[in-house]
Amino acid sequence: MADVADLLGLLASDTRWAPEVRHAAAASLTAGAAGSSGTNADSTTAHLVDVVKYPAIFGTAAAAVAASRLMAAADSESDLGDRVQRALSSARLSRRTLLRGAAFTTAALAFPTLAACERIIVPSTLLPGGVTASPNLLQIVVDDLNEYVGFLGGYPGTIHTPNLDALAAESLSFEQFHVTVPICPPSRATLMWGVDALTHQVYKRDIPAYLAFALAQPDHVTNVLANAGFTQYGGGKIFHESTDNSYHRPQWDHYLPTQYAAFDPPSGPDNIFFDYGTHPAGVDHPDQLLADFAIAKMQALAGNPVSRFHIALGFRLPHLGWVVPQAYLDMYPLDDVVVHDPTDGFDDLGPIGRSVLAPEVSLYWSEPRTWMEWVLLNGDRRVYLQHYLASISYVDHQIGRVLNELAAQPYANDTAVTLVSDNGYHHGENNTMRKGALRDQSTRVPFLIRHPDLTPQSFSTPVSSLDYAPTLLGLIGVTPPASMEGVDLVRELPTGFVTSYYRGNDPQALSRSHIATGDPQYRWVFHEVEPGHPRFNEGAYAGYPEVELYDRHVDPHETINLLG
């Protein structure tokens, strides 16, 4: 097991830290043990505190050793104990936090060299005998669907998702599936290309960066399947697209262009925050048209079979605008809509952390406010949430229509079905609205696999959307290209950390969160100016990230920063 010298060696050799930090660690290492007197001992203690604060940099095993040494020293009557107490105070770390941090690291001690972004691949136990390749694939992608579905239990009130719940009961359901970046373009880059955000370098809604990556990388799921001889039917939002002449259209044999809205809801001062409304009777809804398209193609396939087919459906709801028929709004009377109390403060967050969780925006030339402040100032949160919930139920109905048609076809048992969302959505949790925050409501989404060889079950180990594309291809016996960085979750299971990223309003800062696969009780969040940028070693940053720690068991909405 590592000792103080090992920990200081980590500090001294890690180039991600500012030079003065590494030099101080090297000086402390030269001076000797942690019990040495004078400045070097104070420096050593401070460095041990850093190791505890930043386990995703130095490894959880090292953090556990550092925490145990600090706690032992803090209990002693020696001068070292006094120095430890002062260091803990200056770092705003409490003994309770150290105990929590030490508990978090227990499961990781079996991997003493484990680092934050290191993934150790072990055999999966989901299907020891392997998968008999299914010839066909029905791929369903839903836009902005968070954990507010019956089978995930994320909504505290009553949610009506009978078709999704029935599919989950027949599927392998990943209960802790987290996206790499919780916003549409970068999330879909990971989903469809099977690469990490560190590879595609899109960390927010940056359309030029997304398109630059997409146009340069041919090995996405639909291209791989086209080369494998699949007949492909696509409709709606599968990739992130903005025009009907999308770069990926040549890969489809039959394609339904994306339709964003059947009509424009009212806009202006009365509806400037969220597009929502009641869909007029007699006008086809885009998601209804998408389901109609899928049903027609499946019926045609019954009479004119092809060797192998891939149907990909990208449903727009519950993405804005929340425009649905009145019958679905009637499912959620306003008096029954359960909203979260928006009293979570930001006092325990640093400036980057706050800008990521609750960015301020200026509307109609007004002073900047957070989205939650705008909503509380101008609208009824229950109305917004009512329309979001109704949108979920509406898309649930359309997916049910598609699944019922598939069940009626002779090839139903030869078709794998997958369902995923690109990111979640906040409705008051963490005192924020919309998406992009590194919290469960934004990063955790449904992922279902129904396959003839898979036993329906819930799988609670955290997994990443990095593994979605290789898993999809593995289900139907197609070898993923070498460019894909994930693994087939049915055959292999990554251990270590599930990592999500986001870039907020500060263009030089990058935020990331880590959840340990062995013990998902805690989420670590780091906000830091990127190494190599001139600000990395300047001023308050000085190479040190802002750090947050959340106990997801006792604080499921991750509102209390234990390091704040």
Nearest-angstrom CA–CA distance, 338 and 323: 20
What's the rounded Cα separation, in Å, for the pair 170 and 166? 7
E-state strands within 215-285? 231-236, 254-256, 276-278
Q: Is the pLDDT of residue 86 over 80?
A: no
Query: Between 421 and 261, whose confidence is greater?
Result: 421
Is 98's pLDDT higher than 70?
Answer: no
Higher pLDDT, residue 542 or 421: 421
Distance in angstroms (rounded) separating the CA atoms of residues 407 and 413: 8
> Which of the four pLDDT bands, split at 50, 70 and 90, describes residue 305?
confident
Q: Please tell me which residue, 405 or 15, carries the higher pLDDT value.
A: 405
Q: What's the token pair of residue 508?
A: 């030089």
Residue 522 pLDDT: 80
Q: What per-residue confidence (pLDDT) applies to 492?
A: 87
- Residue ranges of alpha helices (H) inside 14-59 are 19-31, 39-53, 55-58
pLDDT at 130 over 80: no
Q: Give the pair of three-digit tokens for residue 145.
A: 């669907």
Cβ atoms of residues 155 and 389 within 8 Å? yes
Domain residue limits, the chain: 4-115+521-551, 132-336+380-433+446-485
Mean pLDDT in residue range 226-243? 85
At 457-503, the pLDDT tens digits run 999 999 999 999 999 999 999 999 999 999 999 888 887 789 899 98
pLDDT of residue 326: 95
Q: Are 474 and 194 in contact (CB under 8 A)?
A: no
Pick from 224-228, 308-312, 351-355, 462-466: least confident = 351-355
CA 70, CA 52: separation in Å to the nearest integer? Answer: 9
pTM above 0.95, yes or no: no
- What value does the mean pLDDT take over residues 414-430? 94
Largest CA distance in the chain: 85
How many Cβ atoms from other residues are within 10 Å of residue 273's Cβ?
A: 18
Question: How far, in Å, CA of 24 to CA of 30, rounded?
Answer: 10
Q: In what order do the strands lie in the sheet with 172-174?
A: 254-256, 231-236, 309-315, 136-142, 415-421, 447-450, 172-174, 457-459
**What pLDDT band is residue 412 in, cutting at 50, 70 and 90?**
very high
pLDDT of residue 251: 81
Highest mean pLDDT among 126-130, 364-368, 371-375: 371-375
In Å, what is the CA distance from 36 to each residue of 75, 361, 410? 17, 52, 77
State yes or no: pLDDT of 325 exceeds 50. Answer: yes
Say yes or no to pLDDT of 252 above 80.
Answer: yes
- Identity of residue 315: F
Output 132 or 235, whichever has higher pLDDT. Answer: 235
- Helices 39-53 and 60-75 sit at what angle, rounded to 10 degrees? 130
pLDDT-based confidence at residue 410 (cuts at 50, 70, 90): very high
Q: What is the pLDDT of residue 10?
A: 59
CA distances from 44 to 7, 17, 50, 421 (A): 10, 16, 10, 46
Q: Give 373-393 pLDDT, tens digit per residue.
A: 777 776 678 998 999 999 999
**Main-chain phi, psi angles of 238, to 5 degrees:** -100, -60
Separation CA 459–CA 45 (nearest Å): 41
Q: Which two tokens stand for residue 118?
A: 């290191």
pLDDT, mean over the chain = 79
Higher per-residue pLDDT: 72 or 202: 202
Helix (H) or strand (E) holding 498: strand 497-502
- pLDDT at site 113: 30
Quote the pLDDT of residue 103.
Answer: 45
Distances (CA, A) of 548 to 52, 346, 405, 414: 12, 12, 47, 47
- 132-336+380-433+446-485: CATH superfamily: Alkaline Phosphatase, subunit A (3.40.720.10)
In percent, the amount of the chain with pLDDT more than 90 equals 38
Number of neighbours of residue 334 by Cβ within 10 angstroms? 11
Question: How much is the pLDDT for 394?
Answer: 98
Averaged pLDDT, 334-363: 80
Res 178: pLDDT: 97
Task: State mean pLDDT over 501-529.
Answer: 81
- Cβ atoms of residues 204 and 183 within 8 Å: yes
Cβ-based burial of 526 (10 A; exposed 0-12, middle 13-18, buried ≥19): buried
Count the Cβ atoms, other than its own, within 10 Å of residue 247.
12
pLDDT at 20 over 90: no
Least confident of 101-115, 199-213, 432-446: 101-115
Are 26 and 47 in contact by the 8 Å Cβ rule? The answer is no
Residues in a beta bridge with 360: 370
Q: Which residues contact 504 (CB under 8 A, 6 or more apart)?
A: 204, 352, 355, 356, 359, 436, 511
Q: Comparing 211-215, 257-261, 273-277, which segment has the lowest mean pLDDT?
A: 257-261
User: Which pLDDT score is estimated for 263?
Assistant: 47
pLDDT tens, residue by residue, 30-84? 555 444 444 456 666 766 666 666 555 555 555 655 666 666 666 554 565 666 6
User: pLDDT (tens digit, 9 = 90+) per residue, 520-547?
Assistant: 888 888 887 765 555 444 544 444 567 7
Query: Would you call 303 helix, strand, or coil by DSSP?
Result: helix
